[in-house]
Structure 1
Amino acid sequence: MRGKAIFSITWAGTVRPLFCASALSAGVLLCAFPAHADDRDQLKSIQADIASKERAVRQQQQQRATLLAQLKVQEEAISAAARKLRETQSTLNELNKQIDAMNASIAKLEQQKASQERNLAAQLDAAFRQGEHSGVQYIFNSEETARGERMQAYYGYLNQARQETIAQLKQTREEVAAQRAELEEKQSQQQTLLYEQQAQQAKLEQARNERKKTLTSLESSIQAGQQQLSELRANESRLRNSLARAEAAAKARAEREAREADAVRDRQQEASRKGTTYKPTESERSLMSRTGGL
């Protein structure tokens, strides 16, 4: 049985012997070469950082998806609120036009009523004056008396018609005034609704803007996290390659030294068979020591 050495690999790829007892099969030294502990720890640390950063980025991406969904809902709500606001404003504008029309109608009716009242007053005054001046003629002239009676009857009918017109005008004016009051009440309600909708729309837009700011910040954080992930993965790849190269170099050196040690042992055995002794050189003794002793 021959001794077997385990070699430790430094970052620069140099090999340091760590001696241990082991078995060697078929005269060939097959040694395991673990990488330097610091490099392995560094690799594990980088891999842990990568896993942690990946979790953080996934969580941020989920938050982004949630924010985007909320923003979509808010955009739809803002669009609906804007549509209702336009409808309310349109209704309010129409009510304002109707109220203006009602006010114009009432003013016109007031003018008509005033004109009818003036005409009625003028007719009554004319009838009174005519009656005063023709009183003596009524006594002496029966024809004038009949004519006066007809005129009085005519004025009576005319005055009654105008009084009825005035009454109708008054009723119409009252109805128009009632309609205007109803329209003004609707106008007040629509104006209140308009203010409420404007406040709601402003609130929705403020919430949307806040979410957009949060989304922008989150996008920047995700981008930075992905950049860090790229750098960590690049570092991991470089470290893996360095470790692989160091392990390959150490393994190749160990295999070469094992072959050289076997050659020394073969020379010793050959000398022994011939009855002589082969004395290894200093470097060969060091080699034999590193590969498991003489």
Structure 2
Amino acid sequence: MREKRTRFLTALRASALCTGVFLCLLTFSTSANSQLEGVSDEIARQQSQLAAHNKKLNHLQRDLKAQATRIETLSKRIRSAQSALGDTEAEIETLTKKQARLQQEMVGQQALLADLLDAQYRQGQHDQLQRLLSGDDIAQLDRLTRYAETLAQSRQAAIESLAATRTEYQLTAHQLKQQRDKQSALVAELQEKKRDLESEQAAQSQTAKKIRAQIASDSAYLAELNANKQRLQEEIAAAARRATVKMAGIANAKGKLTWPVKGTLLHRFGERQSGQVSWNGVVIGAKRGTEVKAAHAGKVVLSSWLRGYGLLIAVDHGKGDMTLYGYNQALLKDVGDTVTAGEPIALVGDSGGQSTPSLYFEIRRKGNTTNPLPWLD
């Protein structure tokens, strides 16, 4: 009996132990599943935030590009209006001088005509009939007759010259008025365009601030820099494949290249940007709207907006040599245009999300970046 009881108690203990182990395993499994679900939810939340962040950043970049395009259009119109205004002012100066000259001519012609009329009047006091009846010398009479005829012809010529001068003067006065009206219209247009430009630049500045806030963290900034450099690499490679530039390159121009713009050197080649990313070119601070000049003769192979670099222009010099100019306010040359050293190709700006007006300048040789400073004059 005792033996049966012992076996029963042993079996009962074993059963209880199994039940306890099962309950522990069940509790652990439930806890693990709960933790796994929590991790999955956190991953999903982070992915959702990242997607929303990227969507907002892309939207801001599109706004920035649209603003840069409008600023470029306004800048070109202002530049064109300023050029036309300069031509108009030069024409006004020429017409003003001409008008003064004609005025002097009319004064002289009027004085000459007055003298001729006075002489003719005095000549008329002793007409030929009286002289003939008085028995004067016939030869003397002939001379007086010819003098009278010459006097009449001179008077007629003086009258005609004065009339022609007056007509030219009136025409000049009309042209001068037209040019001055044009000048007034151009000045008004310039003032309006400059107001529009300032408004667009303010909007662009605000968008750039929002973008910088979006990539404020080191990881986000680094990711954006790497993505921008990759985009630039792809664009340059594509442009190089499209272009066939048969020029000598810049190998023999080291230390002789034209500075694209004069200003303050803000960033040097090789200087750290973020993490392991360094500057592949130099950044030169300059006044907004300053002309950017081609460093060397070549052919434009890229002229467009590129994220991170704003309005960018690339010039191929042949032999795998290329110069790049970024952050511009306006691009003055199109793809396919041939440029000479020192020729204006763009205007300094702050496109691409920059905080201050500057120029990004880069030199590539067979696709590899190199320090621009030793190449510049």
TM over 0.5: yes
Please name the residue that 2:112 is paired with.
Answer: 119
- Corresponding residue SS for 2:216: helix
1:132 is displaced (CA, Å) by: 5.5
Matched, 1:3 2:11: no
Q: Distance in 2 between matches of 1:99 and 1:132?
A: 49
Structure 1 residue 35: Cα displacement: 3.6
- C-alpha separation between the residues in 2 aligned to 1:82 and 1:4? 87
The structural deviation recorded for 1:111 is 0.8
| CA shift for structure 1 position 183 | 1.7
- Aligned-pair distance for 1:115? 0.8
Q: Percent identity?
A: 22
Instruction: Measure the CA separation in 2 of the matches of 1:64 and 1:31.
Output: 49
Which residue identity is paired with 1:141?
D
Considering Cα pairs closer than 8 Å and 6+ residues apart, tell me whether 1 or 2 has the greater RCO.
Answer: 1
Corresponding residue of 1:210: 206
User: What is the match of residue 176 of structure 1?
Assistant: 172
| 1:279 alignment counterpart | none
Q: Secondary structure at the match of 2:25?
A: coil
The equivalent residue for 1:152 is: 148
- Alignment match, 1:200: 196
Gaps of 5+ in 2: 1-10, 223-377
Aligned partner of 2:65 in structure 1 is 72
Residue 194 of structure 1 aligns to which amino acid in structure 2?
A: L
- SS at 2:162's partner residue? helix
Give the number of aligned pairs.
207
| SS class of match (1:107) | helix
Aligned to 1:106: 99
In structure 2, the partner of 1:285 is none
More strand by share: 2
Cα distance change of structure 1 residues 39 and 72 upon mapping to structure 2, 3 Å threshold: same
The DSSP-based 3-state class of the residue aligned with 1:183 is helix
- The answer to whether structure 1 residue 141 and structure 2 residue 136 are counterparts is yes
Question: What's the CA shift for 1:42?
Answer: 6.9
Alignment of 1:32 with 2:32, yes or no, is no
8 Å CA contact 1:60, 1:222 repeated in 2: no
Conserved? CA contact 2:120–2:152, under 8 Å: no
Q: Does 1:97 align with 2:90?
A: yes
From the CA coordinates, give the structure whose radius of gyration is larger: 1
Change (3 A) 1:50 1:146: same
Query: How large is the Cα RMSD of the aligned pairs?
Result: 3.5
Q: Distance in 2 between matches of 1:133 and 1:218?
A: 105
Q: What per-residue deviation string (whole Å, max 9, x for no partner) do you get for residues 239-272 of structure 1?
A: xxxxxxxxxxxxxxxxxxxxxxxxxxxxxxxxxx
SS in structure 2 of the partner of residue 3 of structure 1:
helix
The superposition leaves residues 161-216 of structure 1 with CA deviations (integer Å, 9 ceiling, x where unpaired) of 11011001111111111111222222222222222221222122111111001111
In the alignment, residue 189 of structure 1 is paired with which amino acid? A
Partner Cα distance (1:142, 1:113) in 2: 40
Alignment match of 1:57 (pick from 50, 60, 70): 50
